[in-house]
């Protein structure tokens, strides 16, 4: 076995460069399609998390027998859950989302019996679309609908 026989068993630099170029072109085509999926998941996660935190606030008001509220600070992209003046929880959300007060304020108050003190609507604008969060009078019910 000599030096020239070993060279025939491997790949040349030119062949490797062609394969790397083809893989690079395929990645350039495939990767941009994943970006909207991650943004979509981000919006879905935020809406689900906000819904769960609203239920948590309501449940804490019922179990502790004290008023609780969820305050959304849209200029800084976070919301907090309070009982009196003590903060229970803070969650940040993406700068790509805008929460605006509609017919209600951006502070949702739950009475000790679990009812919402200030029924109305909030609007959430995202790159996936616009959503309306509606708080109904009595029983502390709310729902999220896409506009």
0.95 exceeded by pTM: no
The pLDDT, as a whole number, for residue 18 is 92
Q: Is 134 in contact with 145 (CB distance < 8 Å)?
A: yes
Three-state secondary-structure class, residue 104: coil
The pLDDT, as a whole number, for residue 39 is 62
pLDDT tens digits along 1-23? 555 555 556 778 888 899 999 99
Helices (H), 1-147: 3-9, 13-30, 34-64
pLDDT tens digits along 41-84? 888 888 899 999 999 999 999 999 999 999 998 889 999 999 88
Q: Count CB-CB contacts under 10 A for residue 72.
A: 23
Three-state secondary-structure class, residue 146: strand
The pLDDT, as a whole number, for residue 15 is 86
C-alpha span between 105 and 43 (Å, rounded) = 22
């Amino acid at each position: 076995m000599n030096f020239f026989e070993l060279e025939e068993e491997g790949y040349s630099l030119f062949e490797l460069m062609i394969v790397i170029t083809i893989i690079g072109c395929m990645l350039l085509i495939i990767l941009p399609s994943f970006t909207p999926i991650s943004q979509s998941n981000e919006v879905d996660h935020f809406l689900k998390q906000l819904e769960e935190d609203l239920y948590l606030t309501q449940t804490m008001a019922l179990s502790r027998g004290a008023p609780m509220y969820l305050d959304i600070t849209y200029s800084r992209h976070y919301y907090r859950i309070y009982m009196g003046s003590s903060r229970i929880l803070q969650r940040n959300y993406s700068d790509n989302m805008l929460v605006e007060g509609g017919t209600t304020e951006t502070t949702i108050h739950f009475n000790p019996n679990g009812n919402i003190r200030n029924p109305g609507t909030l609007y959430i604008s995202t790159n996936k679309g616009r959503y309306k969060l509606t708080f109904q009078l009595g029983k502390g019910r709310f729902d999220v609908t896409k506009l």
